[in-house]
Amino acid sequence: MQSRISRRSAIALASSVALAPLVGCGEPAAKGPSVDEAFTALAAKWLDGYARTRPAGATALGDHRFDGEIDDVSTAGRAAKMTLVKETRDALAAMDRTKLSRDNQVDAAMLTEQLDGETFAIETLQDWAWDPLNYSGLAGGALYSLMARDFAPLNERLGNAAARMEKLPDVLAETRKQLVAERVPLVHATTYSGQNGGAISIIDDLILAQSASLGPDDLTRLKAAAEKAKAAIAEHQTWIDTQLAPNARGDFRLGALYDQKLKLSISSPIARADLLAKARADAEAIRDEMFAIAEPLVANSPAMKLLPKTSPAVHRLGTIAAALKLASAQRPPRERLMDDARKTLEESTAYVREHDLITLPDAPVKVIEMPKFQQGVAVAYCDSPGPLDRRLETFYAISPIPAEWTDEQTASFLGEYNSHMLYELSVHEAMPGHYVQIWHSNKHPSVTRAVLGSGTFVEGWACYAEDMMIEAGFGADNPLRRLTNLKMRLRSVTNAILDQGVHVEGWDEATAMKFMTQEAFQEEREAAGKWTRARVSSGQLSTYYVGWGEHHALRKDTQAKWGAEFNLKKYHDTVLSHGSPPARFVRALMFDEPIA
């Protein structure tokens, strides 16, 4: 459910190519640069600096100028990032933004928010000192993004992989200097411990396994670099397990810093308390809808006769839970999870095409097993190509069932990701969720906007897509599918409530687990995973619910404005044609409203 494009970690620069259309050609030469030209130049300069200071992320976005480099995680590297932030901020402040084109006004507002976010992370949150997960994505990601897609000849990519592996020992040594064990929360250290070794499987399975085409000298270099990198990862693992984790004493709760983090994560001015009140009201309404579907399904079942005759509220929760049990009983065997996910993707694709709901991508999507270095946080994600690699394939990654899980844990997991839920998952991650949306987004000419894509817009779209498909009739004749759809909707709302519960309201594990399993009907495995995710992230879990509400509101208002002109395909193509900015900017662009 976690989209990896939200708040891109680096950039792709093709400023001269991708940003050129904004300048316009064949027009008479102006006296000096216009405000638009000045902004275009500033955005290009920022993009360039952004890529230089984040080579691993730049690769993922399709900027391959720094494929042999790896991020500088030292104090000096951080200072270089802040210098870029300050210079860009000063230049933006000196510009009369009211004179910019409307599209550039949107990009300027998004850039400002990005600079605010980086300043907050580096100077106030200081997550570089206490969040090791910042670094775990780096080592694995730097190598994975070189090997996952065929953007360049294999031997060239292997050469860059060797260069990065040669630099990895120094990056890990510097990471050990930056992390202050006393500030690191134990759950972060434990999760980091589980992810660190993932880079080794990338080296073995994606790099060494594909190295046969190299000449003898290059092969020798690659193997030596791989040995050095693997030894450094093993050494780092020992440090995590014997130094970092035993001394990890940080508090995982953001507390007073949460409000600011939330605002930056959801890119909306809504106050925390208002968001919580709205979420609680929506959760009640969803449970009402679920009860109406559930009651006729289980009214005469033995399970209902066993329900204690207590309050109507308990009866309502018990009824919904009993009906959901019917859905979770229909699940794939352990080894068929991937195949069944693939089948639901094919069916949803056929349905979208048949009912002409949106323009479909002409670039492929592939269901893959989630790489180990990404496992442990989300169950599934969509990994789209960067804006400059847009013709390459999208990966719909699903986490395999860990070998060490007991039969009971496996049954719980597959009870959650049952045959009905797999449809929701495929709709959300791929069709017409993330895969389709990012494909539309990547067609927008502004690279700045692509790099700064809003996670709230992206997640909101995927959640909206789940509802829209049911409304359009996909599986709607099956009450268990509708019930599962509502359970997913309830999960988005629950994510937002849990986010605040963990970071502000002091929820402990028992409170969080009770809330998720009893009031949101989640299986134990799903809830346990979410309890971890809620502690190692902040703000991100609220993006689903906020974005979902924004997308539904935007469609409702568009329907009113367009009247007889409205149809779903036209609306979907239009709403996704502006890239992935926060929804309020899409609304402003669509309805010609002020951009603020």
Helix and strand element counts for the chain (H, E): 29, 3
Comparison of 245 and 377: residue with beta carbon closer to Zn ion: 377
Is residue 60 within 8 Å of residue 9, measured between CB atoms?
Answer: yes
**Shortest spacing between CB 414 and Zn ion, in angstroms:** 20
**Shortest spacing between CB 289 and Zn ion, in angstroms:** 22
**Shortest spacing between CB 462 and Zn ion, in angstroms:** 4
Interface stretch with Zn ion, choices 131-139, 180-188, 459-467, 569-577 (CB under 5 A): 459-467
Interface stretch with Zn ion, choices 243-251, 260-268, 296-304, 458-466 (CB under 5 A): 458-466
> With binding defined as CB under 5 A, does residue 1 bind Zn ion?
yes
In terms of DSSP bridges, do strands 380-383 and 365-369 run parallel, antiparallel, or are they unpaired? Answer: unpaired
**Shortest spacing between CB 428 and Zn ion, in angstroms:** 6
Distance CA(145)–CA(59), nearest Å, equals 6
> With binding defined as CB under 5 A, does residue 3 bind Zn ion?
yes
Comparison of 459 and 550: residue with beta carbon closer to Zn ion: 459
**Shortest spacing between CB 140 and Zn ion, in angstroms:** 20
DSSP per-residue letters across 145-214? HHHSS-SS-HHHHHHHHHHHHHHHHHHHHHHHHH--GGGSBHHHHHHHHHHHTHHHHIIIIIIGGGGGGS
Q: Which residues ranging from 192 to 221 are in contact with Zn ion (CB under 5 A)? A: none
Interface stretch with Zn ion, choices 313-321, 332-340, 461-469, 494-502 (CB under 5 A): 461-469
383 bridge partner residues: 395
* String marking each residue 400-439 x if it binds Zn ion according to CB under 5 A: ----------------------------------------
**Shortest spacing between CB 543 and Zn ion, in angstroms:** 9
In sequence order, what are the residues at sequence separation of 6 or more whose Cβ sits closer than 8 angstroms to the Cβ of residue 92?
A: 42, 108, 111, 112, 115
**Shortest spacing between CB 386 and Zn ion, in angstroms:** 18
Interface stretch with Zn ion, choices 25-33, 125-133, 249-257, 455-463 (CB under 5 A): 455-463
In three-state secondary structure terms, 493 is: helix
**Shortest spacing between CB 544 and Zn ion, in angstroms:** 7
| Cα distances (angstroms) measured from residue 234 to each of 55, 188, 197 | 24, 19, 8
| Cα distances (angstroms) measured from residue 517 to each of 245, 286, 321, 381, 400 | 29, 16, 10, 23, 22
Q: Which residues ranging from 376 to 405 are in contact with Zn ion (CB under 5 A)? A: none
Distance CA(128)–CA(179), nearest Å, equals 7
Distance CA(96)–CA(99), nearest Å, equals 6
Comparison of 3 and 374: residue with beta carbon closer to Zn ion: 3
Number of residues in the chain: 596
> With binding defined as CB under 5 A, does residue 462 bind Zn ion?
yes
In sequence order, what are the residues at sequence separation of 6 or more whose Cβ sits closer than 8 angstroms to the Cβ of residue 431?
A: 345, 348, 349, 352, 365
Interface stretch with Zn ion, choices 67-75, 327-335, 363-371, 454-462 (CB under 5 A): 454-462
Comparison of 135 and 461: residue with beta carbon closer to Zn ion: 461
Comparison of 367 and 462: residue with beta carbon closer to Zn ion: 462
Interface stretch with Zn ion, choices 2-10, 65-73, 402-410, 586-594 (CB under 5 A): 2-10
Distance CA(261)–CA(266), nearest Å, equals 9
**Shortest spacing between CB 457 and Zn ion, in angstroms:** 11
Exposure string over 253-292, b if 16+ CB within 10 A, otherwise e: bbeeebbbbbbbbbbbeeebeebbebbeebbeebbebbbe
* String marking each residue 538-567 x if it binds Zn ion according to CB under 5 A: ------------------------------
Is residue 526 within 8 Å of residue 416, measured between CB atoms?
Answer: yes
Comparison of 168 and 380: residue with beta carbon closer to Zn ion: 380
Please give the residue ranges that form the binding site for Zn ion (CB under 5 A): 1, 3, 459, 462
